[in-house]
């Protein structure tokens, strides 16, 4: 068993037995292949989320295994921009659930979905809950930008944190500046009413429109103020917090279920 290898599918099956005995947290990054303005590649969510997870795996000393990332998500609202790939939410949930259930089947007790595409977040929540309820393992879900958002607020220069914006562009500039076309970086604010917004940013009424109806460039927020230094700070904060989250999750007890019925229930029923 090679405890230094943190990429799930780089292990052989005999090494997998050693990993199961060690009980690392298994991370499933969920990303997208989606337009990110004129200045960022379509792999932005996938690349940023996967980079964070792989760095956590590298620093976790055998406490984390990283699954191959899911590269597609719910994206029909971006389909008017060339290249975006959309996967139906039912298909996404079913596919990811098959992955998490396979991991649970082998005996890994702690699974964590690490999301990087906002529209996947409610789906990841359902996948995590169903994995916990339908297997003997525990599964949780997090959206990686949430781990850095408090810190980011202390040095950000623009108001909106959303999509292909100061946050994501900075992080991409830190990790692979040669792939960012900063001369094309732009800004868009969404269309806001008292209760509604074109990008569901209001707490009152969730509404996410086709993005071609309200933005000409596919950006939500302002990418022009992005820098690699901001990206470095976002990356370090995210990796540090995700490492802490993984340690907490790894130590979390898997308690026994208890049956409080006075007469035996129909235990054979499956939902
Ligand atoms: Zn994104």
195 Cα to the center of ligand 1, angstroms: 24
Confidence of residue 3 (pLDDT cuts 50, 70, 90): low
- The answer to the question of residue 261 being in a domain is no
Distance 60 CA to ligand 1 centre (A): 26
The predicted structure's pLDDT at residue 27: 98
What's the gap in Å between 88 CA and the centre of ligand 1? Answer: 18
Quote the ligand 1 centre to 136 CA distance (angstroms). 33
- Residue 157 reports pLDDT greater than 90: yes
Ligand 1 centre from 131 Cα, in Å?
26
Residue 1: pLDDT above 80? no
Place of tokens 């984390």: 64
Answer for the pair 239, 56: CB distance below 8 angstroms, yes or no: yes
**Where in the chain does DSSP place strands (E)?**
25-30, 64-66, 110-115, 138-143, 161-163, 187-188, 220-222
Full strand arrangement of the beta sheet holding 138-143: 64-66, 25-30, 110-115, 138-143
Average pLDDT score over residue span 190-197? 91
How far is ligand 1, taken at its centre, from the CA of residue 163, in Å? 5
Cα(103)–Cα(67) distance, integer angstroms: 10
Prediction pTM value: 0.96
Report the pLDDT averaged over residues 41-52. Answer: 98
For the chain, give the longest Cα–Cα distance. 70
Interval between CA 76 and ligand 1 midpoint (Å): 14
- Answer yes or no: are the C-beta atoms of 56 and 94 closer than 8 Å: no
pLDDT at 86 over 90: yes
Question: What's the CA gap between 108 and 21, in Å, rounded?
Answer: 9
Quote the ligand 1 centre to 233 CA distance (angstroms). Answer: 18
% of the chain beyond a pLDDT of 70: 99
Q: Are 200 and 256 in contact (CB under 8 A)?
A: no
Q: Give me the CATH number covering residue 60.
A: 3.40.50.10310
d(CA 4, CA 252): 23
Q: Does residue 87 fall inside a structural domain? A: yes
3-state secondary structure of 224: helix
Within 13 A of 259's CA, how many CA atoms are on the CB side? 7
Give the total number of structural domains in the chain: 1
Could you give the 3-state DSSP secondary structure of residue 227? coil
For the record, the structure tokens of 80 come out as 């008017």
Taking only the tens place, the pLDDT of each residue in 57-83 is 999 999 999 999 999 999 999 999 999
Residue 258 covered by a domain: no
For residue 208, the 8-state DSSP code is B
The label of the residue with tokens 């074109």 reads: 198
Paired tokens of 64: 């984390």
Q: Which of 2-16, 215-229, 236-250 has the lowest mean pLDDT?
A: 2-16
Among 72, 69, 71, CA closest to 114: 69
Residue with tokens 């914006």: 165
Q: Which domain holds residue 141?
A: 8-251
Report the pLDDT value the prediction gives residue 119, as an integer from 0 to 100.
Answer: 96
Q: How far is CA 178 from the centre of its chain?
A: 24
Q: What is the CA radius of gyration of the chain?
A: 20
Residue ranges near ligand 1 (ion) with Cβ within 5 Å = 44-45
Q: Is residue 165 part of a domain?
A: yes
- In the predicted model, is pLDDT for residue 2 greater than 60? no
Looking at residue 47, what DSSP letter applies? H
178 DSSP 8-state letter:
G
Beta strands 110-115 and 64-66, pairing class: unpaired
Q: Report, as an integer, the average pLDDT of 172-181.
A: 98
Determine, yes or no, domain membership for 159: yes
Across 202-206, average pLDDT: 89
For position 267, what pLDDT does the model report?
A: 85
Per residue in 88-140, pLDDT (tens digit) is 999 999 999 999 999 999 999 999 999 999 999 999 999 999 999 999 999 99
Q: Is residue 266 part of a domain?
A: no
Q: Decide if 70 is inside a domain.
A: yes
* Mean pLDDT confidence for 142-156: 97
Dist. CA 171 → ligand 1 center (Å): 11
Is 76 among the domain residues?
Answer: yes
pLDDT in the model for residue 216? 96
CA gap 186, 55 in Å, rounded: 29
Does residue 265 have a pLDDT over 60? yes
Q: Which two tokens stand for residue 182?
A: 């900063």
């Amino acid at each position: 068993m090679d405890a230094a290898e943190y990429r799930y599918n780089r292990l052989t099956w005999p090494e997998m037995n050693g990993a199961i005995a060690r009980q690392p947290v298994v991370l499933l990054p969920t990303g997208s292949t989606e337009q990110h303005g004129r200045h960022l590649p379509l792999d932005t969510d996938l690349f940023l989320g996967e980079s964070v997870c792989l760095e956590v795996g590298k620093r976790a000393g055998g406490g984390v295994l990283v699954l191959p990332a899911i590269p597609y998500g719910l994206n029909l609202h971006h389909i008017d921009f060339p290249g975006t790939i959309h996967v139906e939410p039912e298909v996404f949930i079913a596919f990811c659930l098959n992955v998490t259930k396979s991991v649970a089947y082998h005996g890994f007790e702690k699974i964590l979905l690490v999301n990087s595409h906002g529209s996947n977040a409610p789906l990841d929540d359902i996948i995590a809950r169903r994995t916990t309820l339908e297997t003997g393992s525990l599964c949780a879900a997090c959206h990686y930008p949430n781990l850095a958002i408090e810190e980011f607020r202390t040095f950000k220069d623009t108001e909106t944190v959303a999509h292909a914006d100061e946050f994501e562009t900075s992080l991409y500039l830190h990790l692979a500046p040669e792939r960012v076309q900063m001369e094309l970086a732009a800004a868009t604010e969404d269309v806001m009413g008292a209760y509604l917004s074109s990008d569901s940013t209001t707490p009152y009424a969730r509404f996410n429109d086709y993005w071609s109806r309200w933005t000409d460039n596919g950006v939500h927020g302002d990418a022009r103020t992005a820098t690699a230094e901001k990206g470095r700070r976002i990356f370090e904060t995210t990796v540090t917090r995700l490492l802490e989250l993984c340690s907490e999750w790894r130590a979390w007890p898997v308690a026994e279920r208890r049956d409080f019925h006075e007469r035996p229930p129909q235990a054979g029923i499956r939902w």
